[in-house]
Structure 1
Amino acid sequence: MSDNATQHAGGALFIADHGALDFLNTVAQVEGQAVDAWQRDDDVKRWLAQSGLVVVPESLAFAEGELLREARALRETIRRLVAQKKAGEPVDTAALNHYLACASSYPQLVEGDDGALEITRIYGYQTPAQLLEPIATLAASLLSDPHFERVRECEHPECILWFYDRTKAHRRRWCSMALCGNRAKVARFRQQQK
């Protein structure tokens, strides 16, 4: 997603150009403190719905706090695996494979808006882990991506956001030019003025 398409969902940014990294970016640094966009189950549901990665049924209900705990656990699992892979360390896939094994889905033939037939995947959501399985699948595809070197952390020293560099020259440095890129330009300008 380009800087122009930056979207907010409960405080989260969709700027990473990869759904699994946007999932990680639901924790951002604000004035030196990590701020979690998810404080309740509804925050997670809203993020999932706005991300377009998971269709969240209106009637979906789990025990209070269960979805939040599971989403945070998956987020930290993905964060740890991305960091391990970026550091060239062995990647312990057991926790992510747990989420992948929770999948309860089947293909369904449906008629699209234009009348053409297409295959879509229908998911069962009896547990929060099943609801989050599509995110785990995205994370697995990210970790197995042959161009994983394009996964980067923002270079701004006060930022902890991740992105997938899809630029033509693969020289993207900032989570967003509108956010950290602009802050870096302003800081450089002020330094030159001194």
Structure 2
Amino acid sequence: MLAPSQAFLQLADDRALDFVNTVTRTESGLYEYLQTDSDVVAWLQTMGFLDAKEQPAFRKGALVGAARHLRDTIKKLILQKKDGKRVDVAALNSFLSHARYHVNLVRKAHGELDVVHEYERSSPEQLLSPVAQAAAELLAAGDFELVRKCESDDCVLWFYDRTKAHRRRWCSMASCGNRHKVASFRARQKQAAGD
């Protein structure tokens, strides 16, 4: 079993991809990070989409259901774009149509000014609309040569390769990258022993 909600994966270098990565593979199979409405709220707070003090309440299960639907929609669109297919924008636009927000100019603690988009949050779809917007921006402006799935055969995670040389291959060097290195080392040792 994985750590509690506070240990959400943040390795994609893109919040929409981190949302897709809320389903991961473990030794015992796929693990679902978004099991309850509270998990979705915790993810939104962890990723900065929702203030830590906010605790929205909807009909039980409505938020997690909407979040999983949005995640599946985003993943489908990413796969379409990666495969060079026409991206079917209708489902994502359905989420975006719920977005209602206003813009404020606010003074931060150090006197700096910032533009803040304050979203309405009276429905699960409205609460998730900033995530849908992040996905729309990725699909419209992202360099999909740099949007990649981890090269490990048993990994399901995605990332945006923002490295200088654009040679990132693994979701994380600490997990899949390290496993690959160890397997390669063992294979070389085995081959050397057989020679």
Unaligned runs of 5+ in 2: 191-195
2:63 to 60, 67, 75: 67
* C-alpha distance after superposition, 1:143-187 (max 9, x if no partner): 112512100000001100000000111110000101110010011
Q: How does 1:3-152 map to 2 (within 5 A)?
A: 9-31=5-27, 33-55=29-51, 58-152=54-148
1:39-91 deviations in Å (ceiling 9; x for gaps): 11001110110111333653411000000000000000000000011111111
Equivalent-residue separation in structure 2 for 1:146 and 1:178 (angstroms): 26
Shift of 1:120: 1.1
Match of 1:164 in 2: 160
Question: 1:168, 1:128 → 2: CA distance?
Answer: 38
The answer to whether the aligner puts 1:155 opposite 2:151 as a matched pair is yes
Segments of 5+ residues of structure 1 without an aligned counterpart are 1-6
Residues 193 and 140 of structure 1, relative CA distance in 2, 3 Å threshold: same
Q: State percent identity of aligned pairs.
A: 49
| Aligned residue type for 2:33 | A
The whole-number CA distance in structure 2 between the counterparts of 1:56 and 1:62 is 17
1:174 lines up with 2:170 in the alignment: yes
Q: Is the 8 A contact 1:19 1:53 kept in 2?
A: no
Distance, in Å, in 1 between the alignment partners of 2:142 and 2:120 is 31
In the alignment, which residue of structure 2 is the partner of 1:186?
Answer: 182
Distance across 1 between alignment mates of 2:35 and 2:12: 22
- How many residues are paired up? 188
Q: Which has the larger radius of gyration?
A: 2
TM-score by length of 1: 0.91
Cα RMSD after superposing both structures: 1.7
Contact 2:41 2:55 in 1 (8 A): no
Looking at structure 1, the residues matched to 149 and 9 of structure 2 have their Cα atoms a distance apart, in angstroms, of 14
